[in-house]
Amino acid sequence: MPPKKPSFRHSPPSADKGASVKPITAPARTAKAKAKLAAPLSARVDTSPEPVDDATLVDIFSRLRAADPEPRSELDYINPYTLLVAVVLSAQATDKSVNLATAPLFALADTPEKMLALGEERVRHFIRTIGLFNTKAKNVIALSRILIERHGGEVPREAEALEVLPGVGTKTASVVLNVAFGVPRIAVDTHIFRVSNRIPLFVAPTTDKVQAGLEARVPEPFRLNAHHWLILHGRYTCKARRPDCPRCAIADLCRYPSKTTDLTPISATE
């Protein structure tokens, strides 16, 4: 009888008898959702172009100001409280989707007291078309309660007090301070992060570092509206996949090495 050929099939390692696979619980899912909302944006940054010099920086913001002298937020709001709620809801969502959801919500609840009376279930119903609406509904109710208990129902004007509210981080606090109270903060979202690293205005791998760098670099006369100019520039001109460089007002000042050009129309006879 020929010798038995060795088997090359690999058996999986035996599991411990007492071990069992535990399903992900609701609290674990909630914690993951909260972490997803709170995680700062970061990326590998190509630092080959040197940031523009101070004179060029002034030219850039002068042109952006000339094109849009009085920029405003594209989020709809009634007062500082509804602005705060709208910005919390806008995390990983478009301003358009937030505005569609908050129009009927704010018609019923434009103060922390009214929002708390509305309740989490009804808030969830209004914002159900927005991503992560379960976690966001909890945050809106929780922050409304804190505003009533600790701040007399008013939105605080200090970054430290804002950043401890549920669902509120550095970016949200900066937007509220800038838009509602005229504090010259430059909140950095995905658009501003891209624009700053592309031009480059300030190069850094995280949103927090870009914000600190921009607030240190942008001259005081432009600082109040810089957030709006940069976000609108990134949203409509310096877009992620294909920046519209041929129609960009600052293309000649920008050092981005991969500028786009107009596409040549193909003739019907070709």
Q: Which active-site residues does the annotation give?
A: 171, 189
From the CB of residue 264, how many other CB atoms can be counted at a distance below 10 Å? 6
3-state helix, strand, coil in the chain (%, to 5): 50, 0, 45
Q: Which residues are 42's β-sheet partners?
A: 206
From the CB of residue 114, how many other CB atoms can be counted at a distance below 10 Å? 13
Q: Answer whether 57's CB lies under 8 Å from 215's CB.
A: no
Question: Which of 163-190 are b and which e, b meaning 16 or more Cβ less than 10 Å from the residue's Cβ?
Answer: eebbbbbbbbbbbbbbbbeebbbbbbbe
Read off the tokens for 64. Answer: 């952006």
Q: Answer whether 51's CB lies under 8 Å from 202's CB.
A: yes
**Of 161, 103, 110, 160, residue with least CA distance to 140:** 110
